[in-house]
Amino acid sequence: MDRQRRELTFLHSRGGFLRQSPAPPPDQAIAESSCSAGDRKPPIREVDFFSSGNRSKLSSDEEESKNCKGRSTSTLSDPGTGLNLLSLNSGTTAALEDDPSNNDTEMRMLRLELERLHEENRRLRSMLDQITKNYGHLQAQLLMAMQKQAHLNQREQQQRDEMTTMSSPTKSAQQLMDLRPTCAAMDNANDEEKTREVSDSPTTTMEVMSKESDHIHTPPLNHPNNNHNIEDGDRTSQSWGSPKSPRLEPSKGGDEQLADPPFRKARVSVRARSEAPSISDGCQWRKYGQKMAKGNPCPRAYYRCTMAVGCPVRKQVQRCADDKTILITTYEGNHNHPLPPAATAMANTTSAAAAMLLSGSTTSKDTPTSANPGYFPSLPYPSTMATLSASAPFPTITLDLTQNHNPMQLFPRTPPPASATFPLPLHGYAAQIMGQLQHSMKLPAMPLVQLGVGQRHASLVESVSAAIASDPNFTTALAAAISTVMGGAPPRNGPDGNSNANNNNNNNNSGNNHFLPAGVGVLPGSPQLPQSCTTFSTN
């Protein structure tokens, strides 16, 4: 901002054209100019480096980028913006006309200067993109290296343990317990080893991008009971932030309680634009606290799920410090009760995200049949849309719904192997949304389930592309579909997701605890809905 002010001051001194601006404070003026310019250029993708290390490491670049972005919107938000300012601002013109002797020269100088700044802006932007990419690659490499190393260590340790098992069974048992971190239930010993490794390593978060943030609020997903990967962890640690609040979840799941290692829990954070104070996600919440968090002028509210006694699910709601229109909702824990369909749909997505986060880091890349790709860089999504939280005390996956993207970007850029399942949580939504679209736009039914993923994507893309081409109301239909899928109600139908269970196609939400492989698309009417999940829709 200082930089922006300096720039404005600079321009002011150069041409004096800003002098005529009716007086909004610099910040406001910037915002206004940004708005008036129409922001025809997509904003720099926001990259969240939750890790303090990363943050500190990249802070300068980030700052630079922000400044760059700010400058971009204030003085050269897009090609020609500067000129537009000059030409559209009558006051400016008048100011320049007051000094006819230097008009041409000043104009030329200003143009040159603006062009130069624009170039610099572009350079910085590309630098930021590059840094983001590099960061992703490095993190992936680091994780892989750590996993390999850990795997080797574990093997050695295991061999040693086996040698001594006969004499000290207790110790082995204890070690086994220790191997159960957040992603507790693993299918085999190898997974447990990997899991442990992961929990010790920096957390990866991926930010899934989505679109139409104004209408979509993704539900978080912590979920649950269906998800083996998270269930144990959540059950054992129950309350979120469990290390600090062990009493919150008195006694449930007795057996698992015995082992109560202070391992991390996965969190699912959702960033979505919303003017509403909070998002309704199909669950009932009771506020139990509010705090001012450091570094954010907006208070953080704490909610607890009240749909069932003793439900361990918590959520935090806070507005983004940088952009107060962005609501950040963080979910933790698994519901221990059936959810309304509206909530289930959402929860499915969020739980998939959580599962992905947890199992993703526990799954080796060389296991192609795994349901989850191991690292976000391998995900077929633009890495810049994913926020990775590496330093958070809990593994956190952030679903960023604040960016506008083409609906097609819900799908991977490149189709994954046909044998793979959807690697990312939003696929659940995507599938549902597509289902809604099929319905609302009379698209031919697509047997998604039978198709391989690649085919599925291809079909979807083709069909939807065709729909877009043939139906100008696609956006409307998409919005309606999203509203429906989000569990909320399509604007015309109903109030909010809390009670609007019937709007959702997924009615089979109770009692089904089958674990949904992370990212498996949930189709409307899919019987494989998780029992408990957290969902939300817009208010």
Partner DNA sequence: CGAGTTTGACCGGCGC
Partner DNA sequence: GCGCCGGTCAAACTCG
Nearer to DNA, 239 or 421 (CB): 239
CB of 366 to DNA, least distance (A): 33
Q: Answer yes or no: are the C-beta atoms of 405 and 211 closer than 8 Å.
A: yes
Nearest residue to 207 (alpha-carbon basis) of 147, 268, 142: 268
Report the residue from 121, 239, 383, 539 that binds DNA according to the rule CB under 7 A: 239
CB of 271 to DNA, least distance (A): 16
Q: Which residue has tokens 């990419």?
A: 133
238 binds DNA (CB under 7 A): no
Report the residue from 22, 25, 100, 295 that binds DNA according to the rule CB under 7 A: 295
Nearest residue to 269 (alpha-carbon basis) of 381, 425, 380: 425
Nearer to DNA, 151 or 337 (CB): 337
Nearer to DNA, 193 or 332 (CB): 332
Nearer to DNA, 307 or 453 (CB): 307
- HSE-CB at 410 with a 13 A cutoff on CA atoms is 29
Pick out residues in 407-466 that bind DNA (CB under 7 A): none
**Rounded to the nearest 5°, which phi and psi values hold at 453?**
-60, -45
Q: Cα dist. 208→144, 399, 426 in Å? A: 21, 5, 7
Nearer to DNA, 82 or 233 (CB): 233
CB of 445 to DNA, least distance (A): 40
Number of residues that bind DNA (CB under 7 A): 28
Q: Answer yes or no: are the C-beta atoms of 421 and 519 closer than 8 Å.
A: yes
Q: Answer yes or no: are the C-beta atoms of 244 and 85 closer than 8 Å.
A: no
Nearer to DNA, 240 or 381 (CB): 240
What is the distance between the alpha carbons of residues 107 and 104, in angstroms, rounded to a whole number? 5
Identify each DSSP E strand in 64-206 by its residue range. none
Report the residue from 51, 218, 226, 316 that binds DNA according to the rule CB under 7 A: 316
Q: Answer yes or no: are the C-beta atoms of 422 and 415 closer than 8 Å.
A: no
Report the residue from 248, 298, 320, 458 that binds DNA according to the rule CB under 7 A: 248
CB of 456 to DNA, least distance (A): 38
297 binds DNA (CB under 7 A): no
Q: Which two tokens stand for residue 270?
A: 């959702």
Report the residue from 240, 411, 429, 515 that binds DNA according to the rule CB under 7 A: 240
What is the distance between the alpha carbons of residues 334 and 186, in angstroms, rounded to a whole number? 17
Pick out residues in 76-135 that bind DNA (CB under 7 A): none
375 binds DNA (CB under 7 A): no
Which distant-in-sequence residues (6+ apart) come within 8 Å of 476 by Cβ? none
CB of 409 to DNA, least distance (A): 31
247 binds DNA (CB under 7 A): yes
Quick one: which segment of 95-103, 233-241, 432-440, 470-478 binds DNA (CB under 7 A)? 233-241
244 binds DNA (CB under 7 A): yes
Report the residue from 130, 245, 406, 476 that binds DNA according to the rule CB under 7 A: 245
Q: Which two tokens stand for residue 316?
A: 């935090």
What is the distance between the alpha carbons of residues 470 and 272, in angstroms, rounded to a whole number? 30
CB of 272 to DNA, least distance (A): 19
Q: Which two tokens stand for residue 203?
A: 């957390």
Using DSSP's 3-state secondary structure scheme, residue 515 falls into: coil
Q: Answer yes or no: are the C-beta atoms of 515 and 533 closer than 8 Å.
A: no
308 binds DNA (CB under 7 A): no
Report the residue from 5, 300, 405, 439 that binds DNA according to the rule CB under 7 A: 300
CB of 419 to DNA, least distance (A): 39
Pick out residues in 255-294 that bind DNA (CB under 7 A): 284-294
CB of 360 to DNA, least distance (A): 22
CB of 238 to DNA, least distance (A): 10
Which distant-in-sequence residues (6+ apart) come within 8 Å of 229 by Cβ? 183, 184, 185, 186, 354, 355, 358, 359, 362, 515, 518
302 binds DNA (CB under 7 A): yes
Count other Cβ atoms within 10 Å, centred on residue 277.
10
CB of 265 to DNA, least distance (A): 10
**Rounded to the nearest 5°, which phi and psi values hold at 260?**
-130, 60
Pick out residues in 383-402 that bind DNA (CB under 7 A): 393
What is the distance between the alpha carbons of residues 400 and 318, in angstroms, rounded to a whole number? 14
**Footprint of DNA (CB under 7 A):** 239-241, 243-245, 247-248, 284-295, 300-302, 304, 306, 314, 316, 393
